[in-house]
Structures are given as structure tokens and as C-alpha cells.
Copies of this chain bind each other. A is one copy, B any other.
Amino acid sequence: MMAERLDGKALAKSIRARLAERIEREGLRPGLLLIRVGEDPASVVYVGGKEKASKQVGIASRVEVMPESTSESALLARIAEANEDPSVHGILVQLPVPKQIDPDRIAEAIAPHKDVDGLHPINQGFLTLGAPRLVSCTPLGVLALLHRYEVPLSGRHVVVLGRSQIVGRPLSVLLGLKAPWADATVTVCHSRSKGWESLTREADVVIAAMGRPEAVTGQHIRPGAAVVDVGIHRIPRDHGKDALVGDVHAESVEPVAGFLSPVPGGVGPLTIALLLTNTVYSALASAGKAGTSGPVEFALEMADVTSR
């Protein structure tokens, strides 16, 4: 038996289709402002991908490129303007920013209800307090993926490897919330953790987000467990070719796990898809059409998993 593939690419596609339908039906015109400061090659690719995916579903996205030498105050002024602009429902400043700019000040400057990346401290706080508003896209993507494949979470033991601000920590809080779509028992391990292997070996779900290539192997996983791989690394292989790998050593984990997300094609495509659900939610809320559901419930609805 080989692990069932948690196909993030297919889920992202179906989320985009549902978003397009919803935007059309509601006659929405969601606006997403993507700000890139400088010409970091990876950022050029990421922002391009976000723009393209937004346009596909009918979001009016706009990329603004500011020069590498942009001052913090100039960027803050641009954000303040976008905060007031009723045609903009989501604001994202691509990270990393040049060193003269403090990313924490940028995160705090974005109006919380337009913070589609979920990085404002007050949004992290609402999450921690158990009443999440906009949540970071990768944690939301992992949640949607697990639900799409009906991996049970309530009462189950989830081990999150990694405690980063944008993945490990918010994901661990999200999965442990008192909510019908969460309610997991969650352990967070990190570089200082002693004996994390004995914890993953007993876990029902393992989320690998430590940023170390192929660090999780078949020996670390309980037979039948679900494994979600958040890492992505380009590493050299034989014959001078590069390969894309995750934090999971797929070859040894596949014969052991019950479910495994591939790299590429797992969590990656979902990060962008959930940025879109956040943006559309924000537009719905500003039009008074969000009803009683929050952005997490909306994301699960777009992933077509609310009835499960």
C-alpha cells in the first residue's frame, strides 16, 4: 500500500473555480494590491503567480513595483492610501523587503480587515484568542487539504515540526482551536526539541515545516498517518541536475504513511488559492455579504468541505 496523494494542485483548481463562480454570482469586484519592493528574482516569480491566479478568478489585482531604494516612510504612505481606497480589499507586501524597511512595521500598517496575508499582530491575536479573522494562507491551505481528504482532526494528535511566524505557529494554534473543523491535540516541535521522533512516531498527522530538506523519513512516521509537507528546496542531484524536494523524504515515507502531500503540487498551490479566498472574503465582508461565517469557514466552503 502506498500513501494516498494529498493533491493540492487539484484542490487549488477547484477552489479557484468556486471562487470565480461566487464572484460572478454576487457581482463582486474584489481588488487585490500586490506591492513588490525591488527586483528579488524569487519575489518577481511569486508576485507574478499571485497576479495571474487572481485574474483567473475575476479579482482585479494590480502589481505595484517600488524601487529597491524605497524608504520605509514611502512604503507606509502607500499602504495608508490603499487602506483608505474602497476598491482595494486586500493588500499584500511581498517579503522579503529591502533592509531599510522593517517588515514588522509594514505588517502593522496594513488595515487588519485588508490583511489577506494574516500577518498583522491583531489578526494573529484573534486567532490565538480562538476567534480567527484573516489567517495566513499556508496554514489555511493545510487545513483545507486535510479536510478535502477527510483526514480526521478532532481529538487526534497532530505534530507540527517548525514554529515559524507564517506557518508552524499559526497552524498549530489553528488546528487546536475549539471548532468543529479543528479540535486537534497539537504538539509543536522545533530545532531545540529533544526526541521529536518519538512524538511523530505516535502522531496521527505530521506537518513538516521545519525547512530542512528530506528531514522526515519513513522511520519517523506511524503506519497510516497523514503527512503534510510544507517545505520546498531545490537541491543538486546526480548528473548535475537539480530536484525539488520537501521537508519529507517521500521515497521512504510513501510506503508507510496513509496520506502524503507531494512536492511540488501539494501545499504550494494552496498558498495562492487561499490568498484568493481571503481576498474574496474581504470583498464580501465589505459589501455586507459575508453572513455569519468567518474567513476560515469561507475558505472551507470554497474547498467544498463544509458538509463533511
Interface residues of A (CB under 8 A from B): 104, 120-131, 154-157, 163, 165, 169-170, 173, 176-178, 183, 185-190, 192-196, 198-199, 202
Contacts and interface: CB of A to CB of B under 8 A. Distances in A.
15 contacts: A121-B126, A122-B122, A124-B128, A124-B129, A125-B125, A125-B128, A128-B170, A129-B169, A154-B192, A157-B193, A157-B195, A163-B176, A185-B189, A185-B194, A186-B187
Contact of A176 (B170, B178, B188): B188
A120 to B, nearest CB: 7
Contacts of A173: 128, 169, 173
Contacts of A202: 198
B196 A185 contact: yes
A121 B132 CA distance: 11
Contacts of A198: 202
Nearest to A131: B104
Chain A facing B: main interface SS? mixed
A131 B119 CA distance: 13
B187 A185 contact: yes
B187 A187 contact: yes
This chain: copies in complex: 2
A129 B124 CA distance: 7
A75 B185 CA distance: 38
A211 to B, nearest CB: 13
Contacts of A169: 128-130, 173
Contacts of A130: 163, 165, 169
B163 A178 contact: yes
Contacts of A165: 129-130
A257 B102 CA distance: 46
A156 B123 CA distance: 29
A104 to B, nearest CB: 8
A296 to B, nearest CB: 16
Contact of A178 (B123, B189, B190): B190
A185 B176 contact: no
Contacts of A192: 154-155, 178, 183, 185
A123 B124 CA distance: 10
Contacts of A176: 163, 188, 190
A196 B120 CA distance: 33
Nearest to A158: B187
